[in-house]
Amino acid sequence: MCLAIPGQIVALEPETHLALVEVLGVRRRVNVDLVWDEGLREGDWVLIHVGFALSKVSEQEAAAQLRLLEALGEDEQAMEEVRGYLFDVAE
């Protein structure tokens, strides 16, 4: 439930407050309002939770978080959650 999923920002979309992120090969848009004032650039890493970027993290922290998800057997669950964000997908 309080799964924090690391994702790398691929593209920023300021007008929609979304960012295209890649998580374990899955690409989806997530809302970045909660980290907007920290200044975002493509290539930055963020922790994602229920469709929202919750915090900005270093690449090393993102790698540690990815490894942790694998160790906890939650990497599949994380990919399923990210794949499940359909609010950005056009009908």
Q: Which residues bind other proteins (CB under 8 A)?
A: 1-4, 31, 33-37, 47, 49-52, 54-55, 57-58, 60-61, 63-65, 67-68, 71-73, 80-82, 84-87, 91
CB of 7 to other proteins, least distance (A): 13
Produce one character per residue of 34-50: b if its CB has 16 or more CB atoms within 10 Å, e if not: ebeeeebeeebbbbbbe
Question: Between residues 38 and 42, which has the closer beta carbon with respect to other proteins?
Answer: 38
β-pair partners for 55: 47
Phi then psi for 84, rounded to 5 degrees?
A: -80, -10
Least CB distance to other proteins at residue 15 (A):
14
Cβ partners under 8 Å of residue 90, min gap 6: none
Residue 2 Cβ, how far from other proteins at the closest point, in Å?
5
